[in-house]
Each structure stands twice: as structure tokens, then as C-alpha cells.
């Protein structure tokens, strides 16, 4: 019974069976209603011709044979005291209150109030009429059964076609979904013709397909980038190793330099892949918040040995009290990439400045003494594998990783305005309790 069609058929069949059962029960009870109605009509007719006296002296004037039935009468007081009974010698009928509900018996019986304090109980033996009535109903029921059977067959066929029509859109959607794959990753389940109850499931499936398609695209891009960027370093390293076999004194420093460059490229590719996938974010909460000044100091401390070895200087000016949600690793990696980019390609002194732009965002600016570039030209630097100087060392991925990380966090990275080269990170701040109250 896992099939939706089977369940629909079962429900509709049960509804039809209940309706047919109610009709049969009504027809079976209808004969008793007719008996009670006929009895009351006949008693009204008799009492219209003869009104029993209070002492029951004229009770015998009521007919004992009427409408092909045997009649009996008994007169009582309201307190159930017997006054008279007819015909003579007949056993008195049991007392019945005029307000009592009718009973189903072989002899129909009813009670009427006579005057203010007398109760006439009347009974007729309508067994023969009842037999005729039952025979009539049996004949009618036999004919009705045929009609009900025909209606049941028509309803069953209608239910089957209705279920097929209702589920046709679901079947077409399933057929289309079966074609979604590597060859057609952009196809989605159509929502227009689906029943309302199934639309949420289809929407969730489409969203899952979007996520899978995005993950597939990230993997495809990573594979293409890795194959493209590793081809040249591997070829150069292979040539150096071949040359080293033929020489007595291999150039180990050049080999080590190529290895370091390849290692750096692989690390950048992996970092970019993680950034494309959204990074590792934990649920937000007060306990997950981190001071932005702390992240800046840790990133600067990571790069400080390299700067000191090259006799370069890093100036740090940070505003305290700025807090971000748990994005410690991502922001630290982004700032390290900026400092590494300034170390490899920048000039002179490097400055790191953290300020608050407004209540919701902070500006983290990293600048060096190199020449400034315009905003339009600078945006090209954030493209993957683009280098300001094509023959310079590096992978051309550092700034692309930085922008991807910041956009994942709800911020952005841009070229800074000023007399020297600068990059600004727009960092979203954590919502404080005061901000939440104002909102």
C-alpha cells in the first residue's frame, strides 16, 4: 500500500461504501417510519368519528375491524388507572404515555391524550400489511442493488481515471527528474502542474539539485584549475630533474624553489576550493563571537617572521571592541593572503588598519608603498589566476580567495582609494544585544 494511487483508490472506495451503506440503512428503516405514519393517520381518522367518553362508556363504538386490521383500545387516566377496554373480553393494552417514543413490534401501538386527564391506547395487528410492505421493499432493494452495483462499477472506473489524471503530472515530473545528470545538470522538476501537496517536496528536491549542481561545478572548476596550473610547474620540475641526472652538481636550490612554488600553488587551490564551498562555519551565537582585533594580531604574528627576515615592516592600528561571528579561520586566512600578497608583490612598509564604518560593518585596510591602481583595473586583480605582473612568482589566486571568503561571510573585498596600493575588506560585524533591541 505504498503506492499513492492505491491509497487514493482505497480512500475513495471507502467513501463510496459508506455512502451506499447509509442509503441501505435508510431504506431498511423506512418501513418502520411508514408503519408509524399509517397508524397515526388511521387513529386520527377513528377519533374524528368517535370521541371516547371520560368513563369509557362509548369505547365499544370504535371499530374493531378497520383497514383490514384487528383493533384494540384501552382507556386510562393520566395516572395509569384502567377505565375501560374494547372489545369486550380482550386483554387490556399496557399503559403508554402519549409522550413516549414509538416501539417496533409486530402489533403497532400508539397512545393519544383524550381531554385533559384521559389516555387512549390503540393497537392494530398490521402483520399482513407489514409483510406486504416488506415484500415491496425487498423488491425495491433488489432493483436498488443492481443500480448500486452499476454505480459502484462506474465509480471505480472513474476513480481509476481520476487517480491517473491526478498523478499524471507527478509521473511526468519523475520522468524528467530521471534525465537529470551530468549531461543535463541544469534541468529541474517543473512545479506548475504538480498538486499543491507535492509542490513542497519538489521545491526541496530542486534546491537539493541546485546544491549538488553547485558542488559539481566547484569540483569541475577545481579539477580544471589544478590541471591547468600544475601542468607548467610539473613540466619545469621534470626538466630540472632530467637535467640533474645528467649533471654532476644538480641545482638543488632551483629544484627546491620549484617545489615550494608548486606546494604554494596546491595550497592556494585547496584554499580556493574550500572558499567556493562556503568554508567551515559553526552555528552563530554569543559564545561563538570573536574579537576582530585578535584575528588581525594573530594573522600579523603568523607573517611577521617572513617580514623580519626580509627587513620589512608591518604597522598595525586596530580599533578595539569590534566583534564578528565565528569566522576566525576564514578571516585569518584572508588577512594572511593579503599580507603574503603584499610581501611578495608589494613595496616598502605595509600598514594594517582596522576601523568601524558603521554599527554593522568594519573596514580592514592593508596597504603598502606600491603604486595605486584604479577601481576598474583593480577589480581584474581579483580574478582567478590573474597576476599584476605575469612573470612574477605566485599563483594568481590569493586575491580571488580573499574576495570569495569575504563574500561567503556577507562582506566584500575591493581596491582601496589612496596614493598607494591598498585593499579593503568590508567585514560584517556581529549583531549586539543593543542592536537586536533597536531592531
pLDDT in tens, 172-186: 888 878 887 777 777
Instruction: Determine the 3-state secondary structure of 387 from DSSP.
Output: coil
Buried b or exposed e, range 45-70, using 16+ CB within 10 angstroms:
ebeeeeebbeebeebeebeeeeeebe
Instruction: Determine the 3-state secondary structure of 283 from DSSP.
Output: coil
More confident residue, 125 or 277: 125
What's the pLDDT score for residue 252?
Answer: 77
**Residue 202 confidence (pLDDT) above 80:** yes
What's the pLDDT score for residue 379?
Answer: 74
Specify the range with the lowest mean pLDDT, choosing from 91-95, 191-195, 223-227. Answer: 223-227
Angstrom distance (rounded) from CA 385 to CA 267: 14
Helical spans, DSSP H, in 310-373: 328-345
Name the CA radius of gyration of the chain, rounded. Answer: 49
**Residue 147 confidence (pLDDT) above 50:** yes
Total residues found in the chain within this entry: 439
Burial level of 33, CB count in 10 A (0-12/13-18/19+)? exposed
What's the pLDDT score for residue 438?
Answer: 47
What's the pLDDT score for residue 137?
Answer: 65
More confident residue, 336 or 258: 336
**Residue 114 confidence (pLDDT) above 50:** yes
85, β-bridge pairs:
74
What sign does the CA torsion over 376, 377, 378, 384 have?
A: positive
Q: What integer best gives the mean pLDDT of the chain?
A: 77
Q: Show the cell assigned to 276.
A: 567556493
**Among 349, 371, 361, 372, residue whose Cα is nearest residue 413:** 361
What's the pLDDT score for residue 317?
Answer: 92
User: pLDDT over 90 for what percent of the chain?
Assistant: 6
**Among 121, 88, 125, residue whose Cα is nearest residue 102:** 121
- Cβ atoms of residues 400 and 381 within 8 Å: no
Fill in the DSSP letter of residue 214: H
Fill in the DSSP letter of residue 155: H
Q: What band does 46 get if pLDDT is binned at 50, 70 and 90?
A: confident
Phi, psi values for residue 184, rounded to 5°: -135, 70
Rounded to the nearest 10 degrees, the angle between the axes of helix 199-246 and helix 252-276 is: 180
Q: Where are the domains of the chain?
A: 201-276, 286-438
Fill in the DSSP letter of residue 422: E
Chain position carrying cell 476513480: 159
C-alpha count within 13 angstroms, C-beta hemisphere, residue 162: 13
Q: What angle do CA 403, 405, 408 make, to 5 degrees?
A: 105
More confident residue, 28 or 152: 152
More confident residue, 103 or 49: 49
Angstrom distance (rounded) from CA 374 to CA 155: 76
- Cβ atoms of residues 399 and 388 within 8 Å: no
Q: Which segment, 104-113, 401-410, 416-425, is predicted with the most confidence on average?
A: 416-425
- Cβ atoms of residues 107 and 123 within 8 Å: yes
**Residue 353 confidence (pLDDT) above 90:** yes
What's the pLDDT score for residue 106?
Answer: 47
- Cβ atoms of residues 196 and 168 within 8 Å: no
Q: What band does 132 get if pLDDT is binned at 50, 70 and 90?
A: low
Instruction: Determine the 3-state secondary structure of 427 from DSSP.
Output: strand
What's the pLDDT score for residue 103?
Answer: 54
Q: Show the cell assigned to 224.
A: 580544471
CATH classification (class only), 286-438: alpha beta
Q: What is the mean pLDDT of residues 293-301?
A: 90
Q: What band does 316 get if pLDDT is binned at 50, 70 and 90?
A: very high
More confident residue, 29 or 323: 323
User: pLDDT over 70 for what percent of the chain?
Assistant: 75
Q: ω before 87 within 30° of 0 (cis)?
A: yes
**Among 360, 350, 352, 400, residue whose Cα is nearest residue 380:** 400
- Cβ atoms of residues 425 and 413 within 8 Å: yes
**Among 59, 56, 50, 123, residue whose Cα is nearest residue 87:** 59
Q: What band does 439 get if pLDDT is binned at 50, 70 and 90?
A: very low
- Cβ atoms of residues 284 and 325 within 8 Å: yes
pLDDT tens for residues 91-106?
Answer: 888 898 887 755 554 4
Amino acid at each position: 500500500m505504498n503506492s499513492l494511487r492505491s491509497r487514493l483508490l482505497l480512500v475513495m472506495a471507502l467513501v463510496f461504501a459508506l455512502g451506499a451503506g447509509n442509503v441501505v440503512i435508510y431504506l431498511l428503516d423506512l418501513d418502520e417510519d411508514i408503519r408509524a405514519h399509517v397508524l397515526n393517520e388511521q387513529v386520527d381518522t377513528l377519533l374524528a368519528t368517535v370521541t371516547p367518553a371520560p368513563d369509557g362508556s362509548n369505547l365499544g363504538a370504535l371499530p374493531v375491524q378497520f383497514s383490514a386490521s384487528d383493533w384494540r383500545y384501552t382507556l386510562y387516566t393520566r395516572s395509569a388507572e384502567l377505565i375501560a377496554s374494547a372489545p369486550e373480553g380482550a386483554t387490556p393494552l399496557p399503559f403508554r404515555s402519549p409522550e413516549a417514543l414509538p416501539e417496533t413490534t409486530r402489533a403497532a401501538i400508539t397512545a393519544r391524550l383524550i381531554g385533559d386527564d384521559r389516555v387512549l391506547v390503540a393497537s392494530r395487528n398490521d402483520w399482513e400489511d407489514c409483510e406486504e410492505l416488506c415484500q415491496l421493499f425487498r423488491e425495491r432493494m433488489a432493483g436498488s442493488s443492481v443500480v448500486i452495483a452499476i454505480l459502484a462499477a462506474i465509480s471505480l472506473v472513474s476513480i481509476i481515471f481520476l487517480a491517473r489524471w491526478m498523478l499524471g503530472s507527478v509521473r511526468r515530473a519523475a520522468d524528467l527528474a530521471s534525465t537529470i545528470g551530468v549531461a543535463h545538470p541544469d534541468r529541474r522538476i517543473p512545479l506548475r502542474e504538480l498538486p499543491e501537496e507535492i509542490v513542497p517536496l519538489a521545491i526541496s528536491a530542486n534546491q537539493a539539485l541546485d546544491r549538488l549542481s553547485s558542488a559539481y561545478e566547484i569540483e569541475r572548476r577545481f579539477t580544471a584549475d589544478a590541471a591547468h596550473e600544475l601542468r607548467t610547474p610539473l613540466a619545469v620540475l621534470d626538466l630540472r630533474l632530467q637535467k640533474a641526472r645528467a649533471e654532476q652538481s644538480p641545482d638543488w636550490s632551483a629544484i627546491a624553489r620549484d617545489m615550494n612554488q608548486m606546494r604554494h600553488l596546491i595550497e592556494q587551490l585547496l584554499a580556493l576550493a574550500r572558499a567556493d564551498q562556503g568554508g567551515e562555519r559553526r552555528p552563530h551565537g554569543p559564545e561563538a563571537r570573536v574579537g576582530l582585533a585578535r584575528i588581525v594580531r594573530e594573522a600579523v604574528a603568523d607573517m611577521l617572521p617572513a617580514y623580519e627576515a626580509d627587513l620589512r615592516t608591518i604597522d598595525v592600528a586596530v580599533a578595539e571592541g569590534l566583534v564578528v561571528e565565528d569566522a576566525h579561520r576564514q578571516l585569518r586566512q584572508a588577512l594572511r593572503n593579503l599580507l603574503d600578497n603584499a610581501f611578495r608583490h608589494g613595496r616598502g612598509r605595509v600598514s594594517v588598519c582596522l576601523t568601524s564604518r558603521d554599527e554593522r560593518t568594519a573596514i580592514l585596510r592593508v596597504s603598502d608603498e606600491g603604486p595605486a591602481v584604479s577601481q576598474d583595473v583593480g577589480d581584474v586583480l581579483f580574478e582567478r589566476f590573474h597576476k599584476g605582473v605575469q612573470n612574477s612568482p605566485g599563483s594568481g589566486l590569493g586575491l580571488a580567495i580573499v574576495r570569495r571568503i569575504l563574500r561567503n561571510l556577507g562582506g566584500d573585498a575591493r581596491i582601496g582609494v589612496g596614493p598607494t596600493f591598498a585593499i579593503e575588506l568590508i567585514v560584517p560585524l556581529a549583531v549586539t544585544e543593543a542592536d537586536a533591541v533597536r531592531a
